[in-house]
C-alpha cells in the first residue's frame, strides 16, 4: 500500500473564480510552454467564467479558442484548415485526440517546446476540463495500484470581493470531494480547508471534521493570509484537540500573487504554534521547494542553511514525530545529472538520519503534477532512485503515522475513527476496485457491507474468461481493426504451438514490446505515441462494436482510455495486463 499524501481532484469549474485565473497566470508563467498558448488557455477560462461555466470541456475548449486572435498567431494556416475540418466532426475521443495532435505539432514546430511538454500540458487540461470531480478521481485511480491510498486536498480560492456565485463553488467542491471517500472507501481520504477570506470558513471546516467526512486540514497561506489569523489559530487549536493532521502549501511557488503572499508559507511562523499545541502534527507540502527565490535548495550539493527546506528539517529535529515534509512535485532534479546527483545525496542523507527519516512523506501533487509528468512515472522514478526500503518508509510507514491510520500494535487516532463511522453510516460502496485493506481489516467494518467491482484481474489470463478469449481474437484474428502483432511474434507462436489453447497462453504472456506501435527501428516518438493511442481506441471499438459485451464500471470512456494508455505505454507489461484492465469495464452476459 502506497499512500499519496498530496493529491487534488478539483476541476476547473469547481475553482473558476476571478482570483483563480489571476493566480493561474502566475502559475503558468515560467512553464515550458509558449506564451501564446498560455494566453489561449487563460483567455478560454476568462470567457467561460464570464459566461457558461457549465460548458467547460475539452471539446468546448477547442471550439472556443478557434475564434481567438492568439490562435492565429499560434497555429499556421495549413494546420488551421485541418483543425477546422476536424471541428466539424462530432465530439468524440478520436476527434479530440486529432485536434490535440494538430495543436501539438504546431507548438512543436515552433521549435520552442518539446513534444513531451505539450503532451503534459494537454493532459493537465484534459483532467482540469473534466465534467465533474468523480471523473477526476477516476482518472487519479488509473495511476494507482490496487491498494493505494490518496489524500484529497481541496482549494478555496476567492478574494474579499467575491460574490455569492463564486463563494458557492468551494462548498460544492468540498461536498463532491467528500463523496469520493464513499466511492472509494479507505482509499480516498479528504481533507477540509480553512481560508480566512471566507467569514464562516472555520464552521465549514469543523462540520466536515465532526461528521467524519474529512480527516485533516489543508492550509494555503500564499493565497494571502497569515497563520496568525484568528480563524487559522482557532482551526489549529481544534486540530490539536481532535487529532487532526495539518498539511500546508510549503514552498514559494504555486498559487500566489506576490512574494509577500508567498512569505506567509515560511516555516518560521510555526515555532510558537508548535510550542503551544503539543499534539499538533504538521506537514509542509513540497518540503520547502527544490528552489526558493529562484535559487536551488534540494539540488545544491548542500542544502542552504537559510532555506525553508533546512528550516523544516530543524523543526523536525525540535518537534520529533510532529513535523513532516512531503516530496510532491519535486521534478527539478530531472533537469541535469548534477542536480540529480545532489538531490539524491541530500534525500539519502535525510533518510539515514534518525532525526528526520520517520518524518518524510510521499506525495505527487496530482493533477497539477501533470504539467510535468504522470503520477505513475513520477512514482516509478522515486521508487527506483530511493530503493524499496526507503520508498516504503516515505510512502507507507511514515504517512500511516502522520494520518493516524491503524498500524501493527497501534489503534487509529480519533480522526480516522470518525471517518470509519461516517463510511458505515453513509453506506460507502466502491465504484470499482476494492476498499482499502486497512479498512477491510478494521474491527468496525463488515466486509460484506462493501460491494465492489474488481477492476484488476491480477494479471491472470484464462481461456475460461470470455473477455480474455475475445481479446485473444482481437490479436490473433483481427477483424476491422489493424494487425497489432509483429509478424515475427506471430511466426514464432505458430512455429512453437499447434493448438489454439497453447497459442492463447502464449498471447497472454506476450510482452507489449511485441506490438506494432512499439517501433523496432528508427521512428518518431510522437508517431509511436499516436499509434499507441490508436491501439487503445481500437480495443474500445472492439469490445463496444464487435462483441456483445456489456459495459460495467465507470461509464466515462475517458477513464478506460486513460487506464489503457497508462499500461499500453509500458513495454515491459504483458497482454494479460491489458486483459486485467478490460475485465474491469466489460463482461459478457451469462447464457
Look at residue 525 in the predicted model and tell me its pLDDT: 66
**Parent domain of 511:** 466-587
Q: Is the pLDDT of residue 457 over 60?
A: no
Could you tell me the three cell numbers for 407?
498500524
Look at residue 105 in the predicted model and tell me its pLDDT: 81
In a domain, 52, yes or no: yes
pLDDT (tens digit per residue) in 485-541: 988 788 878 888 889 988 999 899 888 888 988 865 545 566 777 888 899 999 998
In a domain, 459, yes or no: no
Domains held by the chain: number = 3
CA distance 405 to 412: 5
Contact 158, 166 (CB under 8 A): yes
Look at residue 456 in the predicted model and tell me its pLDDT: 32
Q: What percent of the chain has pLDDT over 70?
A: 93
pLDDT (tens digit per residue) in 467-488: 899 999 999 998 888 899 988 7
pLDDT (tens digit per residue) in 228-249: 999 999 999 999 999 999 999 9
Look at residue 210 in the predicted model and tell me its pLDDT: 98
In a domain, 232, yes or no: yes
Q: Is the pLDDT of residue 451 over 50?
A: no
* Helix %, strand %, coil % of the chain (to 5): 55, 10, 40
- Same domain? For 541 and 405 the reply is no
Q: Is the pLDDT of residue 466 over 70?
A: yes
Least confident stretch, 89-93, 102-106, 252-256, 547-551:
89-93
Q: Is the pLDDT of residue 161 over 80?
A: yes
Least confident stretch, 60-69, 306-315, 352-361, 363-372:
60-69
In a domain, 53, yes or no: yes
In a domain, 455, yes or no: no
Look at residue 453 in the predicted model and tell me its pLDDT: 31
Could you tell me the three cell numbers for 271?
515555532
- Same domain? For 236 and 363 the reply is yes
Work out the average pLDDT over 276-297. Answer: 96
Domain stops at, among 389, 418, 447 = 418
Instruction: Please give the helix or strand (H or E) that residue 360 lies within, else none.
Output: strand 360-361
In a domain, 425, yes or no: no
Look at residue 408 in the predicted model and tell me its pLDDT: 81
Look at residue 446 in the predicted model and tell me its pLDDT: 75
- Same domain? For 229 and 295 the reply is yes
pTM, 2 dp? 0.79
- Same domain? For 101 and 208 the reply is no
- Same domain? For 295 and 351 the reply is yes
In a domain, 449, yes or no: no
Of the candidates 107, 31, 95, 17, the residue with the CA atom closest to the CA atom of residue 62: 95
Look at residue 322 in the predicted model and tell me its pLDDT: 98
Look at residue 116 in the predicted model and tell me its pLDDT: 80
- Same domain? For 152 and 65 the reply is no
pLDDT (tens digit per residue) in 553-573: 665 677 888 889 888 988 878
Look at residue 447 in the predicted model and tell me its pLDDT: 63
pLDDT (tens digit per residue) in 164-212: 999 999 999 999 999 999 989 999 999 999 999 999 999 999 999 999 9
Instruction: List, in sequence order, the alpha helices (H) in 546-574.
Output: 557-568
In a domain, 2, yes or no: no
- Same domain? For 215 and 250 the reply is yes
- Same domain? For 413 and 271 the reply is yes
Look at residue 448 in the predicted model and tell me its pLDDT: 61
pLDDT (tens digit per residue) in 365-385: 999 999 999 999 999 999 999
Domain stops at, among 86, 103, 128 = 128
User: How many C-beta atoms lie closer than 10 Å to residue 317's C-beta?
Assistant: 14
Look at residue 454 in the predicted model and tell me its pLDDT: 30
CATH of the domain at 412: 3.20.20.140
- Same domain? For 152 and 113 the reply is no
CA distance 446 to 453: 17
pLDDT (tens digit per residue) in 374-419: 999 999 999 999 999 999 999 999 999 999 999 888 899 999 999 9
- Same domain? For 110 and 217 the reply is no
Q: What percent of the chain has pLDDT over 90?
A: 57
Mean pLDDT over all residues of the chain?
Answer: 89
CA distance 438 to 347: 29
Look at residue 489 in the predicted model and tell me its pLDDT: 82
Helix, coil or strand: residue 10: coil
Least confident stretch, 25-29, 39-43, 115-119, 271-275:
115-119
CA distance 417 to 5: 19
- Same domain? For 108 and 158 the reply is no
Look at residue 88 in the predicted model and tell me its pLDDT: 77
pLDDT band at 452 (very low <50, low <70, confident <90, very high): very low
Report how far apart the first and last C-alpha atoms of the chain are (Å, whole number): 38
Look at residue 562 in the predicted model and tell me its pLDDT: 83
Listed as own residue / partner, the contacts of 553-558 with beta carbons closer than 8 Å and 24 or more positions apart are: 553/431, 553/432, 553/453, 553/455, 553/584, 553/585, 554/134, 554/138, 554/431, 554/432, 554/585, 556/135, 556/138, 557/93, 558/93, 558/126, 558/130, 558/135, 558/139
Domain stops at, among 128, 162, 187 = 128
Look at residue 583 in the predicted model and tell me its pLDDT: 84
Look at residue 217 in the predicted model and tell me its pLDDT: 98
Look at residue 213 in the predicted model and tell me its pLDDT: 98
- Same domain? For 202 and 93 the reply is no
Amino acid at each position: 500500500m502506497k499512500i499519496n499524501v498530496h493529491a487534488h481532484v478539483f476541476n476547473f469549474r469547481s475553482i473558476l473564480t476571478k482570483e483563480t485565473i489571476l493566480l493561474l497566470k502566475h502559475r503558468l508563467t515560467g512553464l515550458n510552454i509558449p506564451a501564446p498558448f498560455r494566453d489561449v488557455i487563460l483567455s478560454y477560462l476568462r470567457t467561460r467564467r464570464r459566461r457558461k461555466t457549465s460548458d467547460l470541456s475539452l471539446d468546448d475548449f477547442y471550439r472556443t479558442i478557434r475564434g481567438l486572435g492568439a490562435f492565429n498567431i499560434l497555429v499556421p494556416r495549413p494546420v488551421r484548415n485541418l483543425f477546422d475540418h476536424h471541428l466539424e466532426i462530432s465530439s468524440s475521443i478520436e476527434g479530440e485526440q486529432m485536434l490535440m495532435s494538430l495543436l501539438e505539432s504546431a507548438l512543436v514546430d515552433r521549435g520552442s517546446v518539446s513534444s513531451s511538454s505539450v503532451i503534459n500540458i494537454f493532459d493537465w487540461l484534459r483532467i482540469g476540463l473534466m465534467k465533474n470531480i468523480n471523473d477526476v478521481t477516476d482518472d487519479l485511480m488509473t495511476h494507482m495500484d490496487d491498494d493505494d491510498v490518496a489524500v484529497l486536498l481541496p482549494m478555496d480560492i476567492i478574494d474579499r470581493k467575491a460574490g455569492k456565485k463564486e463563494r458557492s463553488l468551494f462548498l460544492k467542491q468540498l461536498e463532491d470531494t467528500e463523496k469520493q471517500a464513499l466511492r472509494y472507501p479507505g482509499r480516498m481520504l479528504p481533507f477540509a480547508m480553512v481560508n480566512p477570506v471566507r467569514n464562516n470558513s472555520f464552521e465549514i471546516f469543523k462540520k466536515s471534521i465532526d461528521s467524519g467526512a474529512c480527516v485533516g486540514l489543508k492550509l494555503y497561506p500564499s493565497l494571502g493570509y497569515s497563520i496568525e489569523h484568528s480563524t487559522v489559530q482557532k482551526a489549529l487549536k481544534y486540530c490539536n484537540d481532535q487529532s487532526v493532521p495539518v498539511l500546508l502549501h510549503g514552498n514559494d511557488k504555486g498559487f500566489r500573487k506576490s512574494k509577500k503572499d508567498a512569505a506567509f508559507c515560511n516555516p518560521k511562523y510555526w515555532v510558537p504554534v508548535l510550542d503551544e499545541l503539543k499534539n499538533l502534527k504538521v506537514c509542509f507540502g513540497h518540503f520547502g521547494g527544490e528552489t526558493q527565490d529562484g535559487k536551488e535548495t534540494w539540488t545544491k550539493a548542500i542544502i542552504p542553511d537559510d532555506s525553508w527546506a533546512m528550516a523544516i528539517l530543524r523543526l523536525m529535529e525540535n518537534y520529533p514525530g510532529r513535523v513532516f515534509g512531503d516530496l510532491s512535485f519535486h521534478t527539478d532534479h530531472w533537469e541535469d545529472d548534477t542536480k540529480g546527483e545532489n538531490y539524491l545525496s541530500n534525500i539519502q542523507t535525510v533518510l539515514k538520519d534518525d532525526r528526520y527519516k520517520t518524518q518524510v512523506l510521499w506525495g505527487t501533487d496530482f493533477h497539477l503534477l501533470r504539467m510535468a509528468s504522470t503520477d505513475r512515472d513520477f512514482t516509478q522514478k522515486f521508487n527506483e532512485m530511493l530503493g524499496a526500503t526507503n520508498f516504503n518508509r516515505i510512502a507507507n510507514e511514515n504517512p500511516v503515522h502522520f494520518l493516524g491510520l491503524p498500524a501493527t500494535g497501534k489503534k487509529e487516532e480519533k480522526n480516522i475513527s470518525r471517518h470509519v463511522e461516517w463510511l458505515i453510516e453513509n453506506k460507502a460502496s466502491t465504484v470499482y476496485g476494492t476498499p482499502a485493506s486497512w479498512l477491510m481489516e478494521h474491527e468496525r467494518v463488515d466486509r460484506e457491507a462493501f460491494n465492489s467491482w474488481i477492476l484488476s484481474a491480477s494479471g491472470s489470463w484464462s481461456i475460461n474468461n470470455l473477455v480474455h478469449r475475445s481479446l485473444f481474437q482481437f490479436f490473433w484474428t483481427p477483424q476491422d481493426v489493424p494487425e497489432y502483432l509483429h509478424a515475427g511474434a506471430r511466426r514464432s507462436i505458430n512455429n512453437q504451438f499447434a493448438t489454439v489453447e497453447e497459442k492463447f497462453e502464449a498471447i497472454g504472456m506476450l510482452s507489449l514490446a511485441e506490438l506494432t506501435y512499439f517501433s523496432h527501428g528508427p521512428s518518431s516518438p510522437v508517431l509511436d505515441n499516436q499509434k499507441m493511442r490508436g491501439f487503445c481506441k481500437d480495443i474500445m471499438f472492439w469490445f463496444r462494436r464487435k462483441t456483445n459485451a456489456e459495459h460495467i464500471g465507470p461509464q466515462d470512456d475517458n477513464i478506460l482510455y486513460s487506464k489503457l494508455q497508462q499500461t499500453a505505454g509500458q513495454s515491459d507489461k504483458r497482454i494479460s495486463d491489458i486483459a486485467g484492465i478490460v475485465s474491469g469495464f466489460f463482461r459478457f452476459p451469462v447464457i
